[in-house]
Structure 1
Amino acid sequence: MVDADQTFVIVGGGLAGAKAAETLRTEGFTGRVILICDERDHPYERPPLSKGFLLGKESRESVFVHEPAWYARNDIELHLGQTVDAIDRTARTVRFGDDGTLVHYDKLLLATGSEPRRLDIPGTDLAGVHHLRRLAHAERLKGVLAALGRDNGHLVIAGAGWIGLEVAAAARGYGAEVTVVEPEPTPLHGVLGPELGNVFAELHREHGVRFHFGVRLTEIVGQDGMVLAARTDDGEEHPAHDVLAAIGAAPRTALAEAAGLRLADRVHGGGIAVDTRLRTSDPDIHAAGDAASFPLGPLGTTLRVEHWANALNGGPAAARAMLGGDVTYDRVPYFFSDQYDLGMEYSGWAPPGTYDQVVIRGDAAKREFVAFWVKDGRVLAGMNVNVWDVTQQIQKLVRTGAPVDTEALADPHVPLERLTA
């Protein structure tokens, strides 16, 4: 039973943490809510950092989850620029800040997010090597891309995942020269497989991006602290004024691990292991967002999901569970991307090796289609490209797991609603 004397602490000031705090108040919780964020900026959303904000189409103010005054107005005790360095599960306290402040919790939410993976090669200490995770990174990179565009400069991107491709599109928008280095044979290979990865390769080539597949960066060459070139393991040297490391993200689990909480296997993306109520191995501690690995009943697996929708929905679900609500968090993974004139949404999970065919509905050559990843006649995932208002139907196909007629699935004249009936 929750009462007004209880204290709920949220560690992590991203979207999941901010939405959890909001949900506690909208659900009527009148106790203390303490939100601890290791960044000095108020909680913000991350998709604009590689999309609208990076392109200069969205203002800095537009990225924030709430206006700054919202936190005091809703009696949220917000601690910015403060790092939690220890959890005492016996005493139910967290320690944070330079002065080692201790605060008691009745329920604790870990929404610690993830951090960029680093290149382990010579030259990463040069001034022109970048990552993109935080607002400060995006502000710096925005200025870099504009300067590269003005000066006909070269950007080398390590990694052809979502961040790498979105930054490539933004860089070309500013007029910069772009080379993308990727060890797999196609962009987004681990998510979309080769069939759909090639769609994105051709899209970017048409906009002037150069790809170098099947290789890795081995060294970033510089002079006087500045980047001059990037070398790959096939002996090639690519001119570069700046390098972006976009080789994925790792869950921030050190705090949970030090507290003795169970972590998920690497095959499930690592992260903090939680159940369908987003509870960790300690029933008084929950986890949500990028850092949590949760069971996905509709897909028959456990997964860690790094995308915006998981933070948006997972934070509130964890808050309701902390309040004792009847929560089952098993949402079908969803993410979106905008690159040049291509907009897409993806629902489900179907990495290479899990599906036996890809069914295309529409015209892939015109980039107006829906792709379905299918195994034994069952839809594992679907991606709509420049086709809208079909996400609900795609997610229903994934969630039900019912066999479908693949010929009807490929036929744009057969409504998807008929296949999900």
Structure 2
Amino acid sequence: MRSAEVLAAQEISLRLGTKVTGIDRASHTVLTDIESLHYDRLVFATGTRPRALVLPGADLTGLYTLRGIEDADALGTALQAAHNVVIIGGGFIGLEVAATARTKGLSATVIEAAPRVMARAVAPEVSRWFEAMHRSMGTQVLTGAGVSAIEGTVRVEAVILSDGSRLLADLVLVGIGAVPNAELALAAGLPCPNGIEVDAQGRTSDPDIFAVGDCALHPNPYAGGLFRLESVQNAIDQAKVVAAALLGETVAYNAVPWFWSDQGNVKLQTTGLPINPDSHVLRGNPTEGRFTVFHIRDGVIIAADSVNMPADHMYARRLVAARATVAPTTLADLGIPLKSLLEATP
């Protein structure tokens, strides 16, 4: 993403093809397969890896995950020769790939163990709308369904569901979440309950070691406790906080979480964390394909899901940050601009 000249000008030494094998905290040394490096401060930015499918047949050819550019290239090539695509996991990645498969004229089936797609990320109304949208594209969406095995000899031929049903498949995408790459930190004796635990500045229990991005379990004010975010937004905003800490500044991470997902010609944008809402408010008309659903807890806007409503998303981010309280009838009224609600928020 940056040329060698740019990195050199910033006095950044980039070691590609170098594997870290251990951290010696006592001597402040990073051990690699090539050399040992001394550190004054150390930052883990190790990210995550796709959660593996642990089932009979999971080692067959034709199963894919999607994380890095190499994965995307391999999947893109495989889709050119595929006919029956089965996707295990109805999250953002699974639904994005399903939409892509259908635009290519391929058969697509999404299997989701939860009662609805994107259950952890969006409101029930939004899940239902996307399920209907994908079905209208010709995708078979199976919710509350489990997988018991992958069938085939050398290459995948079918996916067997928990109820015994058999789905023909010559390509299977596994999108069942991610696992933080915390093994090096754990081996170094750092707390890693679900990622590398850090404080509001990104500092671990060792004052000279930090963690940032998808691998960092951090105190998040919108989660009400420790939370691990897998998003571009978090990686960028948290990196700024850690950089400040490395320079001796104290800046607490408090950025409003936000995410997006492009599925077919539909853009979903979410903000906040929909943790234990007690009600939802619909703004707009789902039948027109343009609407926002606000998540409310104790009268406070804690999150919002916007479908093809980018302006709503931008104002919703600010309303969530302000912890705004707005009457449901007012929030739902399209005649009242969200901007005016923000201006009225103390």
Q: Same fold (TM over 0.5)?
A: yes
> CA shift at 1:175, angstroms?
1.9
Alignment of 1:176 onto 2:98: no
In 1, are the aligned partners of 2:123 and 2:295 still within 8 Å (CA)? no
1:16 maps to none
Q: Deviations over 1:299-350 (max 9, x none)?
A: 4232110011111222222112111123111111111111111112111001
1:376 maps to 298
- Name structure 1 gaps, 5 residues minimum: 1-64, 265-269
2:177 maps to 248
Q: State how far apart, in whole Å, the 2-side matches of 1:70 and 1:176 are.
A: 43
* Correspondence 1:269-418 to 2 at 5 A: 270-351=194-275, 354-418=276-340
Q: Deviations over 1:194-217 (max 9, x none)?
A: 322111111111111111221111
* Correspondence 1:119-138 to 2 at 5 A: 119-138=53-72
Q: State how far apart, in whole Å, the 2-side matches of 1:372 and 1:102 are.
A: 51
Q: State how far apart, in whole Å, the 2-side matches of 1:226 and 1:279 are.
A: 45
Q: State how far apart, in whole Å, the 2-side matches of 1:336 and 1:313 are.
A: 16
1:236 maps to 165
In 2, are the aligned partners of 1:298 and 1:400 still within 8 Å (CA)? no
> CA shift at 1:294, angstroms?
1.2
In 1, are the aligned partners of 2:123 and 2:293 still within 8 Å (CA)? no
Q: Deviations over 1:186-242 (max 9, x none)?
A: 11012224322111111111111111221111111112x111101010110000001
SS at match of 1:398: helix
Q: Which amino acid aligns with 2:266?
A: L
Q: State how far apart, in whole Å, the 2-side matches of 1:304 and 1:401 are.
A: 21
> CA shift at 1:167, angstroms?
1.0
Q: Deviations over 1:259-282 (max 9, x none)?
A: 111224xxxxx1111111111111
Q: State how far apart, in whole Å, the 2-side matches of 1:296 and 1:241 are.
A: 42
Q: State how far apart, in whole Å, the 2-side matches of 1:388 and 1:172 are.
A: 25
User: Against the structure 1 CA distance between its residues 389 and 402, is the aligned structure 2 distance closer, same or farther, given a 3 Å change threshold?
Assistant: closer
Alignment of 1:81 onto 2:17: yes
Alignment of 1:140 onto 2:64: no
In 2, are the aligned partners of 1:86 and 1:96 still within 8 Å (CA)? yes
1:263 to 184, 189, 192: 192
Q: Which amino acid aligns with 2:62?
A: G
SS at match of 1:208: coil
In 1, are the aligned partners of 2:85 and 2:107 still within 8 Å (CA)? yes
- Name structure 2 gaps, 5 residues minimum: none
Alignment of 1:188 onto 2:124: no
In 1, are the aligned partners of 2:60 and 2:152 still within 8 Å (CA)? yes
Q: Which amino acid aligns with 2:202?
A: L
> CA shift at 1:405, angstroms?
0.8
1:111 maps to 45
Q: Which amino acid aligns with 1:161?
A: G
User: Against the structure 1 CA distance between its residues 173 and 68, is the aligned structure 2 distance closer, same or farther, given a 3 Å change threshold?
Assistant: farther
Aligned pairs, number: 343
In 1, are the aligned partners of 2:157 and 2:168 still within 8 Å (CA)? yes
Q: Deviations over 1:15-55 (max 9, x none)?
A: xxxxxxxxxxxxxxxxxxxxxxxxxxxxxxxxxxxxxxxxx
In 1, are the aligned partners of 2:90 and 2:175 still within 8 Å (CA)? yes
In 1, are the aligned partners of 2:87 and 2:109 still within 8 Å (CA)? yes
Q: CA RMSD in A?
A: 1.5
Q: State how far apart, in whole Å, the 2-side matches of 1:196 and 1:392 are.
A: 18
SS at match of 2:310: coil
Q: Which amino acid aligns with 1:316?
A: K
In 1, are the aligned partners of 2:122 and 2:305 still within 8 Å (CA)? no
Alignment of 1:207 onto 2:141: no
> CA shift at 1:82, angstroms?
1.8
> CA shift at 1:69, angstroms?
4.2
Q: State how far apart, in whole Å, the 2-side matches of 1:69 and 1:94 are.
A: 25
Q: State how far apart, in whole Å, the 1-side matches of 2:339 and 2:208 are.
A: 42
In 2, are the aligned partners of 1:298 and 1:401 still within 8 Å (CA)? no
In 2, are the aligned partners of 1:166 and 1:338 still within 8 Å (CA)? yes
1:39 maps to none
The runs of at least 4 consecutive aligned structure 1 residues that moved more than 6 Å come to none
> CA shift at 1:284, angstroms?
0.8
TM-score under structure 2 length normalisation: 0.95
* Correspondence 1:29-108 to 2 at 5 A: 65-97=1-33, 99=34, 101-108=35-42
